[in-house]
Structure 1
Amino acid sequence: MVKAANKTVVAILRKMSDNYREWPDKIPFALWVYRTSIRTATGATTYYLVYGMKAVPPAKLEVPYLRILLESQKRIERAFNKKVKAPGIKEGDLVLKSVRALLPVDPRGKFKPNWTGPKLVKKILSRGAVWLTDLDGNDFANPTNMDQLKK
């Protein structure tokens, strides 16, 4: 855990300055960013876990802290967006829909089908929502998320 923290603080220092001779002056800023950024595993900051309340940055840390925090959020967003792929599904395409609902008792057990379909994409909404119809023209009651579909 300490090694991971040290690597993270060094990465923050590298983002703040390329010249390692400036690092001693910037260590408090880097530690503050590390201690007050949310960890994905716990969903909380280390500061909150230790003290049980939100951190209030001192006045001298506030402006650099916000800049560093915004930079780190942009970096995380860029890394996430690199992995996101466009599904390539258009209106009018035939798709299969994943079966995620747990049926009370399915006699087939682990051999039950994972996909149903084909379904027809009627309309694509914003943020990955899709209206589907079956081949008979019956509309679904609710939109479906695009991550549950495959061509």
Structure 2
Amino acid sequence: MNRVVEAANKNIKRTLRKMTDNHKGVHEKLSYALLGYRTTTRTLIGATPYLLVYETEAVIPAEVEIPSLRIIQEAELDNAEWVRARYEQLALIDEKRIVVVCHGQLYQQRMARAFNKRVRARLFQIGQLVLKRIFPHQDEYKGKFSPNWQGPYVVRKVLSGGVVVLAEMDGQEWPKPINLDAIKRYYA
């Protein structure tokens, strides 16, 4: 969720930068930038954030001044017809949300396929020498100018799911398996 908010903030900042000179008048242009962000269709979900929150498309200020077909149709309905039309709109909300969820899932599958085309499988075999990454939360971490890798270690077992068991050079086996993302081959 935090990444979604950061991405939204980044887009709004970019829009504000285009609309203002040297950060002057940002407070005056913020409402326009937010309206633009909320009413622009997102590629991932195939809908606008406004539609997902308020269950109807936004009416932009220009449509109020120069009425669109949608505004004219709603204005000419009597109360009973308007209530019936609104009830039908509400009945379609779940269908719209399901379409948005399906669109998002298809988009994620396409992105995963595109990413996986470029990924090379990393295969390790028993007896190979490897280096293990030192992560900042580990005791071995000595600061940003210290080495990022430690080792070499010997691959003792290759388990399913991208996990290996390592051993020290003297044969002492590590108690925990290591993810393949945290090791790389050592070329002596």
TM-score grouping bracket, smaller chain normalisation: 0.5 to 0.7
Query: Bigger radius of gyration, 1 or 2?
Result: 2
Amino acid in structure 1 at the alignment position of 2:170 = D
TM-score normalised by the chain length of structure 1: 0.54
Query: 1:104–1:63: structure 2 CA closer, same or farther, 3 Å change rule?
Result: closer
1:2-151 alignment runs, 5 A limit? 2=36, 6=40, 9=42, 11=43, 30-31=46-47, 35=49, 47=53, 58-61=93-96, 64-100=99-135, 101-103=137-139, 106=142, 110-151=144-185
Residues 1:67 and 1:104: Cα distance change in structure 2 (over 3 Å): closer
Query: Which 10-residue stretch deviates more, 120-129 or 76-85?
Result: 76-85
Question: 1:111 and 1:73, CA in 2 relative to 1: closer, same or farther beyond 3 A?
Answer: closer
Change (3 A) 1:70 1:104: closer
Q: Deviations over 1:48-93 (max 9, x none)?
A: xxxxxxxxx7244255345423321211221332343322322321
Q: Residue 105 of structure 1: CA displacement?
A: 8.9
Change (3 A) 1:144 1:104: closer
1:16-53 per-residue CA deviation (whole Å, 9 max, x = no partner) reads xxxxxxxxxxxxx931xx539xxxxxxxxx85xxxxxx
C-alpha deviation, 1:145, in angstroms: 1.3
Q: Higher relative contact order by CA 8 Å / sep ≥ 6: 1 or 2?
A: 1
The two structures, once aligned, show a CA RMSD in angstroms of: 3.5
State the match for 2:56 in structure 1: none
Identity %: 33
Q: CA deviation at 1:110?
A: 4.7
Q: Which residue of 2 aligns with 1:15?
A: none
Change (3 A) 1:115 1:60: closer
Structure 1 runs of 4+ aligned residues shifted over 4 Å read none
Matched residue count? 111
Give the secondary structure class of the aligned counterpart of 1:85: coil
The one-letter amino acid paired with 1:137 is G
